[in-house]
Structure 1
Amino acid sequence: MTGISRTGGQAVVQTLAAAGIRFAFTVPGESFLGVLDALHDAPLRTIATRHEGGAGFMAEAVGQLTGRPAVCLATRAVGAANLAIALHTARQDSTPLIAVVGQVPRAFRGREAFQEVDQVATFGRLCKAAVEVDDAERLAAETARMVSLARSGRPGPVLIAVPEDVLEAEVSGPLAVPAAEPDRPAPSPAQVDAVLAALAGARSPVIVAGAGVLRSAAEAALLAFAEAAEAPVVAAWRRPDVFPNGHRLYLGMSGLSGPRTVRERLVAADVVVAVGTRLSEIATFGYAVPAPGARLVHVDLEPGFSGDRPAPDVAVRADAGVFLAAAGARAVSRPMPEADRMARRAANDADRATFLAAIAIPAGEQPDPRGVHPAAVARALRALLPDGTILTTDAGNFAGWAARHVPLPRGGRFLGPTSGAMGYALPAAIGAAVAAPDRTVVALAGDGGFAMLMAELETAVRERLRLVALVHDNRMYGTIRVHQEEAHPGRVTATDLGPIDFAAVAEACGARASRVERDAEVAGAIEAALAADGVTVVHLRTDPRVLSVDRSRGA
């Protein structure tokens, strides 16, 4: 104990609390004891996790779900290295996140001290910004600045490294400095008119909506704009929650595992209006959208693209919600001719019918079953998920069935890493359950990804959370197996896995669990899990011959 009541650690924590940050996730370490001590008396809910990667994913999920960052804390070097996967995920997903990591004492720097590393250089490229603060008097201001950076413009992760002696040092100045609220730039009337003119002159327009819509809580504004413009909506990769999936103008989610109709409709568009999305490689099917000759309207806090990608035809720097409200009101005040509206509606209804046919789940039992068919899981989820469900998902081929065949329930949210990070689903479900305890939370995982961070089941049980984890177990790294068999037929290497009794692991951590090996058992097991309190794991032994939603192999 230092005996000092106004410390650098308190400056960090009190500034975070003043910024409205409510949750902290950590594997504790001796290099940031000053922060841990300050958290003891702070209003933040602090949760100890089993791995720093889990802590980072939990914080990322809170930021993605609420739009306000959570904080993850780790010790210097080795602990911070374990945060790297979550930092990269947050950067790819434009999620606000605060990472606080300890550092060696100032007097020991440059001597290869225990766990010494240049953390700004090491982790800075994974973050939107990184800083090391070596003056306790600057900690409050620098923390406030980094919180503002995480939330402003294109949001993202920031990292604050602090030597352990700075965290214990006395502070004479303010312990809390207010963080500036993010700017919400508005489009000019001329820009709104330019977008509406592009839509009015289009033969086959489409709106692609991304996470910027969610961050602005602009789902209702997007719906009103789409209806006023009679323009169909495609959700960007892993953003199906931007638009009601049951609406007649919804044509699906772009990216991996979606039906061919999504790509075909995007490529056929002569005008693409992208709102709150970076139009990533996956979302555009390898940058095939917009197609050659099509016009692109890009509405974003940072419109335009890196690299040698063509510039948008119309670039609008604006908050998605502010733009959609203005554009929707303008479109209502200037309705298109009724004949044009009816013609466009007929085309949209035809596209919707084609999409619905493509996402229908084939009926009937599989011949010679050797485990659960993923279609049975998708069928049960379609029937059983309540409104408002938060779905989290890992990377893996198992996720293709839900991506294609399970419309998101009304008012639901979907959290999945566009980075393709494995191990995400369970920690993200924990973050979601912490931030939204009154909602149903369901994690979808494969055996490969789930095993990476399954120790966080104990975290969920200890924190008395309510969530369901569905583990699709085909005893292999299925996504890589597909690529391997396509690229190097008959030369399987390092993609087979041994069995794990996930139900036994869950029970050992204090959770409920069930084992399912037949299609007929799936719906009952999921229904029981959804009705249960606490943490429930459903171990689905899936047929290893079903490699993906588009590919199966023989015996």
Structure 2
Amino acid sequence: MSTSTTAGHLIVAQLERAGIQRVYGVPGESFLDVLDGLHGSSIETVVTRHEGGAGFMALAEGRLTELPGVAMVTRGPGAANAFIAIHTAHQDATPLILFVGLIPVADRGRESFQEFDINAWFGSTAKKVVTLDDAASAARVVDDAIFTALSGRPGPVVIGLPEDVLVHAIEAGTVEPRAMARTEPTPSDLAALEQRLAAARKPLLVVGGEGWDQESSEALAGWASRHGVPVLADFRAYDAVPHNSDAYAGYLGYARSDDNARRLDEADLLVFVGCVRADVLSDGYRRGLDAVSVVVNLDADLLGHFGRLDQHIPAHVASFSRALAATASAVQPAAGWLADARADYEKFSSAQPDGGTGVDLAVVMEILKQEMDDDAVITYGAGNHTLWPARYLKHNSANSLAAPRNGAMGMGIPAAVAASLAYPGRQVISVAGDGCFLMNGQELATAMGHGGRFVVLLVDNGIFATIREHQEGHYPGRPSGTHMTNPDFAALARSYGGYGERVDKAEDFAAAFRRAAESGLPAVLHLPQDPATRSPKTASN
């Protein structure tokens, strides 16, 4: 039933009908009518301190829940600041909706205040860019954006909102949200896969992407365990299957073990579930290129896939996992194929003290494994500090990791805010480097304002360590542009009203973590680290 309303209010009503619970954003005069529609709405308006933070929060919500995250920003500078989240959502294949306020229609093409070309800016990194020029179609445009963001290969959709169109009075109502079907693999798809599995001696499952839930994660891991097939995770998709399954053998991509790199080359069958053989996973298009390759992915174009492709199964990861688990597969891997892979993973993920001055992160991670809940959500951005949680922390619950697969710094704190709001009953832990934290650390204020609770492990080594490491390899003895001067991070956290504590020794971490967790506040534990420590040690080095 249609009623008299405005386009801005109808946008909010359609978001409500779709089940959106939060929107993240920085307010702007270009979308005042939408903000007015949010007044009194069931949707919580999370007011962030920077558009980049808003975008990353929406990205994390899209990663961790079944609906796209939603961000709202103003024209020109606001859109520019949010661009990092769109690029991340595009490369990570994560559903996200970005609403961007625009100049009035009559002002277009006149280089008016904060004017920009929304299609030129976002056209190469969004699944769809649309400008709402017809006020009466507001509900349909929103519904289409949600469907597009979730369907096929998930990704970002950008909606431009001319400020004058938003206030047009219209006789229109919401539309029924389109249902998202979880496409099942066909019997012929499964039969062809079964033939390949039966012929393989060294098969590997590689899991990643979006759409996993606890049931499908456990179903796939259970099948793999019963049939002796190792499961490797794509880069920063470490929560796709539970680590307590004896089929889980670690991850591929940056900082992967040498054993898994070798295993990828030795495999005679690779089954990619929810991901593709892309750049990072394959060590720059160099590994695992010759094996028989099956890709289970809803993306018809298989964007990013490189190398051999013998079978494409266009099925949802959850539907495929349950269907495969129900089959009586005849796969018979080589003796010790899974056992050796699991043993290598156990060795690789057992912390060895890093040594050096400052806090030993390997010891901290071992303590943290005992302190964290089994369904804790872990967030981080990009940098060498992420190597420790990626390698040592365990993910036994689906939707328990929010980290940028495209290597964007600054996501960890906004992601922690979003995770704590989306899952108020779950423990949220963010591991942040000093450089990464200071890109969006101001979102601690957002957490304070909206009741977010999480603990940040802030690793402070005073340098951009990843780049410094590259410099040492290519330009030894000539560090340049990688030094940082840092604040007192614990005092900074307290200045926002949160909990802050400096921890100078790893043996003091457990008690400090408990104090931080029990504070009921956004908390920062400041962990000084030896700047010479670049990555975790293994038993062999």
Same fold (TM over 0.5): yes
Matches for 1:405-554 after TM superposition, within 5 Å: 405-409=392-396, 413-549=400-536
- AA in 1 matched with 2:437: F
* Greater Cα shift, 179-188 or 426-435: 179-188
Q: Which residue of 1 aligns with 2:309?
A: 312
Equivalent in the alignment of 1:106: 105
Tell me the equivalent position of 2:352. Answer: 362
The offset of 1:261, in angstroms, is 1.7
Instruction: Report the Cα distance in structure 2 between the residues aligned to 1:60 and 1:395, rounded to whole angstroms.
Output: 15
Contact map agreement 2:57 2:417 (CA 8 A) in 1: yes
Q: Deviations over 1:258-311 (max 9, x none)?
A: 32222122221110111011333112222234243x111111102564479334
Which 5+ residue runs of structure 2 have no aligned equivalent? none
Cα 1:114–1:534 change in 2 (3 A) is same
* 1:352–1:289 CA distance, 2 compared to 1 (3 A): same
1:270 counterpart residue number: 268
Please say if 1:239 is aligned against 2:237: yes
Does the CA contact (< 8 Å) of 2:221 and 2:245 recur in 1?
no
Distance in 2 (alpha carbons) for counterparts of 1:324 and 1:410: 16
TM-score by length of 2: 0.95
User: Does the 8 Å contact 2:243/2:396 carry over to 1?
Assistant: yes
Q: Secondary structure at the match of 1:538?
A: strand
Q: Which letter maps to 2:122?
A: F
For 1:311 and 1:212, locate their aligned partners in 2 and report how far apart those are by CA, in whole Å.
23
1:142 alignment counterpart: 141
14-23 vs 319-328, which deviates more? Answer: 319-328
TM-superposed CA distance for 1:524, in Å, is 2.3
For residues 74 and 248 of structure 1, the distance between their equivalents in structure 2, rounded to whole angstroms, comes to 45
How far 1:121 moved relative to its partner? 1.8
Q: Output the CA distance in 1 between the equivalents of 2:292 and 2:265.
A: 11
Shift of 1:22: 1.1
Q: What secondary structure does 2:5 align onto? A: coil
Closer, same or farther: CA 531–545 of 1 in aligned 2, 3 Å = same
Counterpart of 1:188, as a letter, is T
Give the count of matched residue pairs.
Answer: 536
For residues 550 and 489 of structure 1, the distance between their equivalents in structure 2, rounded to whole angstroms, comes to: 22
Q: Which residue of 1 aligns with 2:292?
A: 295
Extract structure 1 runs of 4+ deviating beyond 6 A. none
The 3 A distance-change label for structure 1 pair 217 and 20 is farther
Aligned 8 A contact 1:22 1:70 in 2: no
Give the aligned partner of residue 61 of structure 1: 60
1:47-73 deviation line (CA, Å, top 9, x unaligned): 100000001111111110002112100
Query: Match of 1:316, as an amino acid?
Result: I
Distance 1:409 1:244 in 2: 4
The residue number in structure 1 matching 2:94 is 95
Does the aligned pair in 1 maintain the 2:292–2:308 contact within 8 Å?
no
Distance 1:229 1:424 in 2: 38
Closer, same or farther: CA 547–227 of 1 in aligned 2, 3 Å: closer
Q: Distance in 1 between matches of 2:441 and 2:536?
A: 25
Is the Cα contact below 8 Å between 1:209 and 1:242 reproduced in 2?
yes
Distance 1:202 1:308, change over 3 A: closer
Once the two structures are superposed, residues 161-185 of structure 1 have per-residue CA deviations (whole angstroms, 9 ceiling, x without a partner) of 01101111111122x1223122322
Structure-2 residue corresponding to 1:128: 127
The residue that corresponds to 1:153 in the other structure is 152
- Residues 25, 213 of structure 1: alpha-carbon distance in 2 compared, 3 angstrom cutoff: closer
> Which residue number corresponds to residue 192 of structure 1?
190
Q: Is the 8 A contact 2:54 2:414 kept in 1?
A: yes
Counterpart in 1 of 2:223? Answer: 225
Q: Does 1:38 align with 2:28?
A: no
Q: What is the root-mean-square deviation of aligned Cα atoms in Å?
A: 2.0
Residues 59, 97 of structure 1: 8 Å contact kept: yes
Deviates more, 1:377-386 or 1:150-159: 377-386
Query: Cα 1:287–1:326, aligned 2, differ >3 Å: closer, same or farther?
Result: same
Question: For the structure 1 residues 304 and 231, does the alpha-carbon distance in structure 2 shift closer, same or farther, using more than 3 Å as the test?
Answer: farther
Alpha carbons 2:221, 2:247 under 8 Å: kept: no
Correspondence for 1:330 among 306, 327, 330: 327
Deviates more, 1:53-62 or 1:187-196: 187-196
Q: Which amino acid in structure 2 is aligned with residue 278 of structure 1? A: V
Write the distance in 2 (CA, Å) between the matches of 1:308 and 1:240.
19
1:378 aligns with 2:368: no
209-218 or 75-84: bigger deviation: 209-218
Task: Give structure 1 stretches of 5+ with no counterpart.
Answer: none
For residues 537 and 329 of structure 1, the distance between their equivalents in structure 2, rounded to whole angstroms, comes to 46
Change (3 A) 1:358 1:227: closer
On the 8 A contact 1:474/1:541 being kept in 2, the answer is: yes
Name the SS for the 1:171 alignment partner: strand
